[in-house]
Amino acid sequence: MQKVAIVGLPNVGKSTLFNRLTRRKSAIVSDIAHVTRDRKEALVDFCGLRFIAIDTGGVADGGEIQSLVKTQVQLALENADVVLFVIDAQRATDSHSTALGKWLSKITNKPIILVANKCESNKNNVHVDTMEYLGFLGPVYISAEHNLGMADLYEAIAPLIEQSERPKKDQDRPIAISIIGQPNVGKSTFVNSILGEERVITSGIAGTTRDSISAEYSYKGITLLLTDTAGIRKRTKVTENMEKLSVQSAIHALSKSHVVILIVDFTQGISQQDLSIASTAIKDGKGIVLALNKADLVNDKAAEDAILNAIRQYSRVDFDVPIMKMSALENIGCDKVLSKAVKIYESASTHISTSKLNKWLGTAIDYHPPHLQNKKKVRLKYISQVSTLPPTFVIATNSTEVESTYQTYLKNSFLKHFSMQGVPIRMIFKKGNNPYISKD
């Protein structure tokens, strides 16, 4: 498998970019220990583009390049097929950056992509003279911390990396599902009901926090990692510290999850703490299932609608959250909740063909064309998928000023067309042309 090395001065965001590419969940291939820093390698799956990312230590920005770090970077360059030379966009003309660039060009003939990081503000205000960087490819403007410009980075890397055949199923990586909610809503009862159905527990794994427990479980031939989190408590003077630790535990489990099952006591309704965690999950690109426990005690459609509306209003996003009724104690509907979570993961990790995407886009536009912007017709020319988990799509258009209401329409149309309820999707509108239309 081909390798991509990330190189640059200290504090330019190399590790942040490494974590962004690997999503902090990728399987670690190896950790190569050095005296001063570690060089880490991890598997990256960037929308079917699979490669090994190498995170190197920062080359000291002094007059002398430290010998150990220099050796480390040289080893990375020898093993790499592509090099990402990361610079701080706010210090693009720094003499140490240009000196490192010249050194890189001398010791390797591998393709080098210049990546200008920390472009949180308008990239038009940042000027990188590629001549100072010896004609490297790019520059590609990104903010690794804020997940900006990753589609552009994909477009820069893709032509240089041979597409590896995507395995049909990754048996080595379980689907991580976190069970969250207030105390006594039935989280542990739900987990015990699931584990007790087939009684196939691969292993019990102690969580990184004191009060979260994870267990691997084989479900219909699929390995799941179920995490039972601590209850999210209401703030009181007596239990404020306990509540804070519990919320931190739930958020930590959420960050490591692919899908979240939010369990609510149907007889009590949903709390602000529940809504806060649900909002965090959605904004973090996690799939989510809302499970109304103790549903055998309630039969109220109005109460169900009120809970869903509360989630949408609090999170301020248009998102089709699936609501599942169950009774963990009676083991009614638990399997359906778990099945929905697995389906959401499978949908979120699916790469949809470009032809299918553009066929849908054409139909959506024909049914409801976009409104004029500044008296100009907005043309949506082409759509392609650039990543999964969450599914992210780039739409080429003649104007990036697409009304938020129309963006919502497109997302809802997409979710309905591709049957992806519970999957948070992201659409990026970018000026560009359809690459499949020939130019005369």
DSSP 107: H
Of 255, 243, 230, nearest in space to 179 by CA: 230
Which residues are annotated binding-site positions? 8-15, 55-59, 117-120, 181-188, 228-232, 293-296
Pairing of β 112-117 and β 137-141: parallel
Of 427, 299, 385, nearest in space to 45 by CA: 385
Cβ-contact 247, 206 below 8 angstroms: no
Of 395, 368, 399, 393, nearest in space to 382 by CA: 395
Exposure on the CB side of residue 65, measured as CA atoms within 13 A: 19
Dmax over Cα atoms in the chain, in whole Å?
Answer: 74
Reported residue count of the chain is 440
Which residues are annotated binding-site positions for GTP? 8-15, 55-59, 117-120, 181-188, 228-232, 293-296
Question: DSSP for 13-50?
Answer: SHHHHHHHHHTTTSPEEEEEE-SS-EEEEEEEEETTEE
Cβ-contact 190, 324 below 8 angstroms: no
